[in-house]
Amino acid sequence: MAIKRTAAAKSKAESSDAPETSVAVELNPKTTFYEFGGPLGAAAMVTFLPLLVLFLAVGCDKTGYPSQKVLSMTRDDFLALFSLNSLRVLFDPMAIGGYIAYIIWLVAFTLTVKGDKYPGSKLRNGKILKYECNGSYSGFESSNCFSVLLSFFSLAIYCAKGPGIAPAIWVYEHWVGINVASILFAFAASFWAYSNSFEPGALLALGGNTGNMIYDFMIGRELNPRIGDLDVKFFVELRPPQMGWLLTNICMALTQYHNLGRITNSMALVVIFQAWYSIDSIWNEPLVLTTMDITNDGFGFMLAFGNLCWVPMVYGLQARYLVDFPLDLTIVQVILIIALQLTGFYIFRSANSLKNSFRTNPNDPALKDIKYIETKAGTRLMTNSWWGYSRHINYFGDLLMALAWCLPTGFSSPIPYLYFFYFAFLLWHRQGRDEHKCRQKYGEDWVKYCKIVPYKIIPGLYPLFTISNCNSYPFTNTLLFNSGIY
């Protein structure tokens, strides 16, 4: 059942007349293009992504990635997977309860720990939402943060004096059930968001109002769904994925310690690198306010499943692999992997920080040497420093880090490299969406900018598409939409 909006919003909706309805239509115009392959692509994502998560959880074990059972599976074995008994085994009440408790814990601290309030981007209705960022340094300045630290210390003391590392081993042993719980919770959040988007006064995402239920459910209809003071999309964007990823990796490292009596250098690299990324993301929480996820995308299955399930369950695949197949690296391998990680992180963080500073305070004296194009849309596009090397230089740093996280697993199986190949495809697709939106927004100014900064992701190596066809994917979907194929 959809959450009811404020009395003021309800009153306004009840007293609406024809002119107000016209204004509402202008604020929420019907979407006339598709992305991600339209409804067919959306249906495929909603169906096959959860199945892929289940395959990685069930079909990979100590016998191999994929497991020997998967490799020797017959047709009858495959069909038996869909029997009632097989499906019943996937449901682990303890794991489901643990996952829900974890989400409640995150929500509680999000709402109680005080932090600085940051303005979001100006919305189409003229409003500027305020976001309380208490995951960053500001949270550590608050006395309420003491409760967070106390919780961690209490848990550490409990484990040291009581069950030891048994809770970490429990996570490894109940991994399938935890994956199922995250999938179910993601679907529940997606259904809530979709139904809630039909409440009066909802501001819809420009890309999520096609009228096709499957597509809008996947891409997300409402731009900023809220439950009281909790901005659901902003919360889901960082807290569950990054904290879940961090905690599961720690659990895998402790499980390896339980099995071997030590932690291998490969496991140490994976856990440290990915923990660094997670903590840095939460610490720099305000930077997410200028990303496309917050400013453009609606909250639907794509963001709900991606952040509640995909990131914490799939991104940490390397750590789980190293529990089943521990590996010791040579000192040369360790040094090279660390160098790759440091290079990627430096590019990623410094480029994003520069972009955020330029957007929020372009007249800062520290940015006096930045060159830019003044567009007719009123936005300035940087053409030197990091953003002169490529239009998405931060993606390049992300790719380098993604590779550094996979290399410690060796080369015995391609599955631990799933993250790198998936992430490369994701960034390629995302830059295509960025190009399309920027071409629409800036017009000829964008063409001029592309001539100055010709490379899309990798400097000097990735002008894979010319400026003229950078919009071919969204344009094709627009044709399919208008022709009635979808």
pLDDT digits (tens, 9 = 90+) for 334-358: 999 999 999 999 999 899 888 878 8
Kindly state the DSSP code that residue 365 receives in the 8-state scheme: G
Q: Is 408 exposed, middle or buried (0-12, 13-18, 19+ CB in 10 A)?
A: buried
Where b means 16+ CB within 10 Å and e means fewer, 410-429 reads beebebbbbbbeebbeebbe
Q: How far is CA 299 from the centre of its chain?
A: 12
What pLDDT score does 463 carry?
55
What pLDDT score does 25 carry?
62
Residue 62 predicted with pLDDT over 90: yes
What pLDDT score does 157 carry?
58
When the pLDDT of each residue in the chain is averaged and rounded to a whole number, the result is: 83
Please state, as a whole number, how many other Cβ atoms lie within 10 Å of the Cβ of residue 206.
16
Averaged pLDDT, 289-318:
93
Query: Are residues 271 and 210 in contact, defined by beta-carbon separation less than 8 angstroms?
Result: no
The helix (H) or strand (E) run that includes residue 246 is helix 244-260
Q: Give this prediction's pTM.
A: 0.81
The helix (H) or strand (E) run that includes residue 119 is strand 116-122
Query: Are residues 474 and 440 in contact, defined by beta-carbon separation less than 8 angstroms?
Result: no
Residue 436 predicted with pLDDT over 90: no
Q: Which two tokens stand for residue 336?
A: 């090279």
Least confident of 55-59, 122-126, 292-296, 467-471: 467-471
Residue 204 predicted with pLDDT over 90: yes
Residue 155 predicted with pLDDT over 70: no
CA within 13 Å, CB half, 254: 20
Residue 183 predicted with pLDDT over 90: yes
* pLDDT band for position 259 (cuts 50, 70, 90): very high
For residue range 84-140, list pLDDT tens digits in order.
787 888 999 999 999 999 999 889 888 887 777 888 888 888 888 888 887 654 444
What pLDDT score does 137 carry?
47
Q: Secondary structure of 125-136 in the HEC alphabet?
A: CCCEEEEEECCC
Amino acid at the residue 196: N
Q: Is the peptide bond before 66 cis (omega within 30 degrees of 0)?
A: yes
Q: Of all residues in the chain, what percent carry a pLDDT higher than 90?
A: 48
What pLDDT score does 470 carry?
41
Highest-pLDDT range among 124-138, 214-228, 284-298, 348-362: 214-228
Least confident of 26-40, 74-88, 241-255: 74-88
420 or 6: which leads in pLDDT = 420
- Give the residues across from 227 on adjacent strands: 230
Q: Is 128 exposed, middle or buried (0-12, 13-18, 19+ CB in 10 A)?
A: exposed
141 or 479: which leads in pLDDT = 141
Kindly state the DSSP code that residue 371 receives in the 8-state scheme: -
Averaged pLDDT, 60-73:
93
170 or 161: which leads in pLDDT = 170
Highest-pLDDT range among 109-118, 322-331, 436-445: 322-331
Domains of the chain: which residue ranges?
37-328, 329-486
75 or 192: which leads in pLDDT = 192
Q: Is 356 exposed, middle or buried (0-12, 13-18, 19+ CB in 10 A)?
A: middle
Provide the H-helix boundaries in 175-231: 175-196, 213-219
